[in-house]
């Protein structure tokens, strides 16, 4: 079987269900719409060849894909309060050598620009920073480290 890659959002959805949460609770915890959660769960079941959510949880657990307490390698522990979507926003904030606008981030994340602004406000508050430039600088440093760790692990 090929290596199965779940997105951070998919892992978050499955982890919330694995902890005994309901679908509405999982959607609320991830701050996503219930219809979006259903799409994530359908994709997860397809990737894992599972017929039910519980079967997907069991297969993901057996494959070591559920690791709710662990942040991605290289991500500082201070970032533990960030939601999976806020981490994804930070990951996508930098594109090459430039910082993306709200509209560009919204396109990359398939959300509305107002949602991007809300994610950024939450990030600023949680990380005690005041600007997009500060967030971009932090993100570029942290995600450069995670990429280096991933490359080292793959070698």
- Residue-wise pLDDT for 3-12, tens only, equals 788 887 888 8
**Cβ 8 vs Cβ 30: under 8 Å:** no
Q: What is the pLDDT of residues 18-46, one digit of tens each?
A: 878 889 988 888 888 999 999 999 999 99
46 contacts 34 by C-beta, under 8 angstroms:
no
User: Which residues, 6 or more positions from 70, have their beta carbon under 8 angstroms from its beta carbon?
Assistant: none
Whether the pLDDT of residue 14 is over 70: the answer is: yes
User: What is the token pair recorded at 100?
Assistant: 């993306």
* pLDDT at 38 (0 to 100): 94
Domains of the chain in start order, with CATH, are: 8-62 (1.10.10.10), 77-154 (1.10.10.10)
SS3 50: coil
Token pair for residue 5?
Answer: 């890659």
pTM of the model: 0.51
Give the whole-angstrom CA distance, residue 110 versus residue 148: 27
Band of pLDDT at residue 79, cut at 50, 70 and 90: confident
């Amino acid at each position: 079987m090929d290596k199965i890659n779940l997105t951070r959002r998919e892992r978050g959805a499955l982890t919330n269900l694995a902890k005994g949460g309901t679908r509405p609770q999982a959607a609320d915890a991830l701050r996503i719409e219930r219809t979006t959660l259903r799409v994530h769960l359908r994709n997860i079941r397809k990737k894992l060849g599972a017929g039910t959510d519980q079967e997907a949880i069991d297969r993901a657990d057996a494959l070591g894909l559920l690791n709710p307490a662990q942040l991605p390698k290289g991500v500082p522990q201070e970032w533990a309060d960030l939601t999976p979507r806020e981490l994804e926003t930070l990951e996508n904030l930098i594109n090459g050598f430039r910082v993306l606008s709200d509209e560009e981030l919204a396109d990359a994340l398939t959300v509305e620009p107002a949602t991007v602004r809300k994610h950024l406000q939450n990030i600023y508050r949680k990380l005690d920073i005041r600007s997009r430039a500060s967030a971009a600088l932090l993100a570029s440093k942290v995600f450069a480290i995670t990429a280096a760790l991933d490359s080292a692990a793959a070698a």
